[in-house]
């Protein structure tokens, strides 16, 4: 891994930590709050690509496990990694990898609608398909109830996917993906 990739991975782990400073929005019917951190997950995959994007999220999770209060609401340590949010948190590196893989494939013909679709499929749907069943198992509820409850995240997450698409289209020229494709 090149120094530049390590720096980008660290910067995006920090960015996701900063997004955790935005207070979470608790939903009364589901134990997982709405956070801004999934925006960082989508941005990491979309801007950094599969490898560096996934590494940035793995680094983030390691920092949380070490006790840094980087999750929304100032949470850190092992408790959030075994609680109702665990499936969502552990899905983030997978989502960043899948987003990055898809972005690398469509990069030469990148359009804003493609970025939105990629982020919606892998940054929203995939995260929910992993996170909701794990939440349901941990809270001893049905997987179906967990998936239905997770639909509450869809409107906000769609807005995040649109925001990420706008940002990526604006900073496309400085993305590591752009450098990789042009070299």
What's 118-158 look like in SS3? HHHHHHHHHHHHHHHHHHHHHCCCCHHHHHHHHHHHHHHHH
Q: How far is CA 99 from the centre of its chain?
A: 9
B/e letters for 28-46, b = 16+ CB within 10 Å, e = fewer, are eebbbbbbbbbbbbbbbbb
Residues facing residue 25 across a β-bridge: 34
Whether residue 80 contacts residue 52, with contact meaning beta carbons closer than 8 Å, is answered with no
Longest pairwise C-alpha distance within the chain: 51
What would the mean pLDDT of 60-69 be, rounded to a whole number? 98
pTM across the whole model: 0.95
pLDDT digits (tens, 9 = 90+) for 100-109: 999 999 999 9
Predicted confidence band at 179 (pLDDT cuts at 50, 70, 90)?
confident
Whether residue 24 contacts residue 72, with contact meaning beta carbons closer than 8 Å, is answered with yes
Whether residue 51 contacts residue 12, with contact meaning beta carbons closer than 8 Å, is answered with no
Predicted confidence band at 62 (pLDDT cuts at 50, 70, 90)?
very high
């Amino acid at each position: 891994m090149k120094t530049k990739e390590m720096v980008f991975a660290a910067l995006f782990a920090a960015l996701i930590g900063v997004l955790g400073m935005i207070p979470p929005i608790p939903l009364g019917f589901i134990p997982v709050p709405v956070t801004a951190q999934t925006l960082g997950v989508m941005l990491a995959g979309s801007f950094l690509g599969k490898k560096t994007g996934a590494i940035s999220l793995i680094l983030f999770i390691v920092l949380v496990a070490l006790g840094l209060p980087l999750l929304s609401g100032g949470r850190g340590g092992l408790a959030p990694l075994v609680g109702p949010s665990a499936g969502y948190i552990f899905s983030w590196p997978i989502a960043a990898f899948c987003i990055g893989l898809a972005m690398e494939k469509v990069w030469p013909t990148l359009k804003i609608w493609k970025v939105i679709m990629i982020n919606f499929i892998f940054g929203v749907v995939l995260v929910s398909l992993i996170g909701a069943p794990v939440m349901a198992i941990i809270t001893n509820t049905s997987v179906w109830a967990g998936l239905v409850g997770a639909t509450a995240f869809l409107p906000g997450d769609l807005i995040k996917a649109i925001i990420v698409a706008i940002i990526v289209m604006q900073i496309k020229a400085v993305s590591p993906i752009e450098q990789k494709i042009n070299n």
